[in-house]
A and B are shown apart, each in its own frame.
Chain A
Amino acid sequence: MIQFEKFTLANGLRVIVHQDLSTPMAVMNIMYDVGARDEDPNRTGFAHLFEHLMFGGSVNIPSYDEPLQMAGGENNAYTTNDLTNYYIQLPAENLETAFWLESDRMLSLAFGEKSLETQRKVVCEEFKEHYLTKPYGDVWHKMRELAYTKHPYRWMTIGKELSHIENAQLEDVKAFFFKHYRPVNAVLVVAGNVTVEKVKALTEKWFGDIPSGERYNRNLPQEPVQTEARRLEIKANVPLDAFYKCWHMPGRLDRRYYVIDLLTDILSGGGSSRLYQSLVKEKKLFSNIECHHFGSTDAGLVVVEGKLVKGVKIEEAEKAVEAELDKMKNELVSEAELQKVKNKTESMIAFEDMSVMNRANSLAYYEILGDAAWMNYELPKYATVTTEDILQESRTIFRAENSNTIHYLSNN
């Protein structure tokens, strides 16, 4: 059970304090309720580019990193399709430095041309490093475009194409900032060796006078129900044939999410999981195979992906995957098998919660989803899942007309 206290400033900033006196450190985590899904389809990659610009100096503080390093702190940030998160860890004595830095960049960035110019290049190199130079590096661009026709999950966080980043202008950056990076769209978590009184005082002092901003009302085009199977074949200069298949699943707040999370663990997620045992070890059709899901806030995808053993026909490999999924649709999994994945979930949560940083991050995430307290109710939700639920959910998800398949073939 993670203890915390929550309050809201007059400008709408939600603040959560989680005390842990066993550490000499403090953590500040600020999550902004904006991700790649909130981008204009003609300016994709913006939320992520913006994350880079957040380190280019703010209105009163020319350098973000230096004062933080001087205070013995470290920081980083990440952007997903759903949200953008910034976090700092520093010695608890120097907590106020984190307040000073984060509040100033929430107040306003410096918006320097030089910073934009450099970070455009940096992000382009990141794009190349992760998506262009790696074999199979473009597959998730293609899969998202195949599986989503309307919803903005059809592009990746890094952006649809390099040109969107290269053409980013300072006006776009400013508009994005004042729309999304406002107190009313953010959650601040302070954790570690801190007291609620001190955090309240510091929050009022540093964040209290930042204009509230307008609440961003998300109104995204929803993905229509898919009614027939979609397939794509790619030939590329890769050494092995690879198989990718995705099915639509409900969003994070649906109860079915928990069923699917366990279901994917039964299929893959360990040496005793079904797909690995059957297709890698027994039938030797794949050299590796995985099943996971996006974990996204809006309706996401369940994924099966694997590389084929050289010489195996991709049709044969796909049939064998389908045969395993048919078993899930036709027979109840055993109670022991379900218990196994529930135990794994329990232990995973315990290990995650070891670090103050992770706890702070989770509190912010659940608050953005709806309520920080939900963090403590995850295990009971998993506990209610039955073998019958797994059977029903397999039948609902693993239908051909709900599927998107990519055969990624080696042309050499």
Chain B
Amino acid sequence: MPDRKQAPAIVDAVNFKLNLKPYQHFVLDNGVEVYAVDAGAEEVMLTEWVFFAGNSQEEQNLVAATTNFLLRNGTTKRTAFQINEHFEYYGAYLNRSCYNETATITLHCLTKHIDELLPVVKELITESTMPSEELAIYQQNMKQRLKVSLKKSDFVAGRLIDAYLYGEKHPYGKYSSAEEFDALQRDQLLSFYNQYYLQGKLIMFVAGKLPVNIDKKLNRFFGDLPNKPVEVKHPALYPATEKKVRITNDTAGVQGSIRIARPFPNRHHPDFLKVQVLNALFGGFFGSRLMSNIREDKGYTYGIHSYLQNHIQHSAWMVSTEAGKDVCEAAIAEVYKEMKELREELVEEDELLLVRNYMMGSILGDLDGPFQIIARWKNIILNDLTEQYFYDSINTIKTISAEELRSLAQKYLQPEDFYELVVV
């Protein structure tokens, strides 16, 4: 009979040596840089085209996102249907996403089909036509979707808190409206497409079980694009002055969406990695203070999380939860109580070790597989960081002291710095 009261011995995860598998790097004829991770057992691969075509580059709201969306909806040779049919016939997934600085095309496919798919991706990048009819359908359907989303308190709260933090005109704070969907013109999209895709700056990432001559394959199709430099804009912030807001979105609502957030510097700031550890302790995982108190002890919510927003230029430290309408204010009071505790008390060694081990284990698990490894690299490269950032973050997790965490809490977890929003 095993002694069930006694936990088995463990190797503390802080003792693990974590390595980020290096990428292979090559440059196409036109200077396009390609980062490749060849790994994995399944015969699958991921190819990603990253253009500097995010919403920071647009003159009018929604132009970047709409251009990105319509890339798949018609070229000089194929209709939207034919494009979709082509990728779907090969069991491939072609997605596109628009972010603040960048916009991407992502292809997941079985490695054996890559030759049939690359030429059509090339066609999307060089011969898209953004047909008027496709634009009209998109406008109509997006307006309808927005209408449904606006009924959801979490959606409304998410938009507003970003607008408070960065300003409604800032790329990180602006949001969509029916009028702005209506205002979209095909000419604007074509001109944005021309400047930021056809002529624009491209970086590529590939991962998975790669064909041997992947460099030649990519060069054949993408080595002749103009790849002109793009100047990334740095728009000014216009944070809101009013810090505490309560909104009723649905009079019959039974839950409130709570967002409590403060501005925070980006990854280049020396406190960023350290605050990741403080954040984990505060509300970054299931065993965090916020979760233990507000969900596991009080039962006010199904879940509460805190995190640093994933932006390149500026970030924000955010606490987010949905709580019963009548316990929202009590939940907020508990959040501030946890901040105070972190400012005033040193974290016990046991709890700190738990956070360290959890974070290390989580990174170890997250490095599992080629797609996860390339995602880490992509984050490092697009944020203009180096490999050292990864090792610094490991080192910070292993060595940060209770005193440092307390002084970071004193610096950043001051209630008066936080915006506080409840949308019911």
Q: Does A217 contact B (CB under 8 A)?
A: no
B393 contacts A by Cβ under 8 Å:
no
Q: In chain A, what residue has the closest Cβ to B369?
A: A354
Within 8 A of A (CB), among B341-393: 353-355, 357-358, 360-362, 364-365, 368-369, 371
Say which one of B85-93, B165-173, B267-275, B401-409 lies at the interface with A. Answer: B85-93
Stretch of A131-139, A222-230, A396-404 contacting B (4+ beta carbons < 8 Å): A131-139
CB B151 to nearest CB in A, in angstroms, measures: 4
B22 at the A interface (CB under 8 A): no
Stretch at the interface among B26-34, B220-228, B297-305: B297-305
Asked whether, in the complex, the Cβ of B299 is within 8 Å of the Cβ of A121, the reply is yes
Contact with B along A126-147 (1 / 0, CB 8 A): 1011001111000000000000
Interface of A is mostly: helix
A122 surroundings in chain B (CB, below 8 A): 295, 299, 301-302
User: Known contacts being A237-B252, A351-B108, is A72 close to B357, with CB within 8 Å?
Assistant: yes
Residue of chain B at shortest CB distance from A341: B88
User: Smallest Cβ distance from A251 to chain B, in angstroms?
Assistant: 26
B253 contact set on A, CB distance < 8 A? 133
Q: Mark A332-370, 1 if CB is under 8 A from B, else 0.
A: 000010011001111110110111100000000000000
| Contact (Cβ within 8 A) B110 A271 | no
Q: Does A61 contact B (CB under 8 A)?
A: yes
Docked complex Cα distance between A89 and B372 (Å): 16
Contact B91 A70 (CB under 8 A): no
Q: Is the CB–CB distance between B11 and A272 below 8 Å?
A: no
A interface residues, how many (CB within 8 angstroms): 80
Q: How large is the interface on B (under 10, 10 to 19, 20 to 34, 35 or more residues)?
A: 35 or more
Q: How far is the CA of A239 from the CA of B8 in the complex (A)?
A: 56
A347 in contact with B109 (CB, 8 Å): yes
For chain B residues 1-41, which have a beta carbon within 8 Å of chain A? 1-2, 4-5, 7-13, 16, 40-41
Contacts of A104 in B (CB 8 A): 4
- Binary CB contact string for chain A from 90 to 105 against chain B (1 if under 8 A, 0 otherwise): 1101101101100110
Which residues 89-135 of B sit at the A interface, judged by CB distance below 8 A?
Answer: 89-93, 108-110
Q: How far is the CA of A205 from the CA of B1 in the complex (A)?
A: 7
Stretch at the interface among B59-67, B137-145, B185-193: B137-145
Whether a CB of chain A sits under 8 angstroms from the CB of B47 is no
B144 near A309 with CB under 8 A, answer yes
- Listed A/B pairs (16) with beta-carbon separation below 8 Å: A25-B364, A65-B287, A70-B353, A93-B11, A96-B9, A107-B4, A125-B255, A132-B254, A133-B255, A135-B152, A271-B83, A281-B81, A344-B88, A347-B109, A354-B40, A354-B369
Chain B interface (Cβ < 8 Å from any Cβ of A): 1-2, 4-5, 7-13, 16, 40-44, 72, 80-81, 83-85, 88-93, 108-110, 137, 140-141, 144-145, 147-148, 150-153, 250, 252-255, 285-287, 295-302, 322-324, 353-355, 357-358, 360-362, 364-365, 368-369, 371
- Interface positions of A (Cβ within 8 A of B): 20, 22-25, 59-61, 65-67, 69-74, 89-91, 93-94, 96-97, 99-100, 103-104, 107, 117-126, 128-129, 132-135, 205-206, 209, 237-240, 270-273, 277, 280-281, 284, 287-288, 307, 309-310, 336, 339-340, 343-348, 350-351, 353-356
